[in-house]
Amino acid sequence: MAANSSLSSPMDPLAREKNARGIQLIEDMTRNADTVQKNFLSEILTRNSDTEYLKKFNLNGATDQETFKSKIPIITYDDIEPFVRRIADGDRSPILSSLPISEFIFSSGTSSGEPKLIPSGREESNRRHLLFSLMTSIINLRNFMHVYCNKGKF
- Sorted by where each begins, the domain ranges of the chain are 26-74
Encode pLDDT of 34-60 as tens digits.
Answer: 998 889 888 988 999 899 999 999 988
Q: Model pTM?
A: 0.68
Encode pLDDT of 5-28 as tens digits.
Answer: 444 455 678 877 877 887 888 888
135 Cβ partners below 8 Å, 6+ apart? none
Q: Are 87 and 102 in contact (CB under 8 A)?
A: no
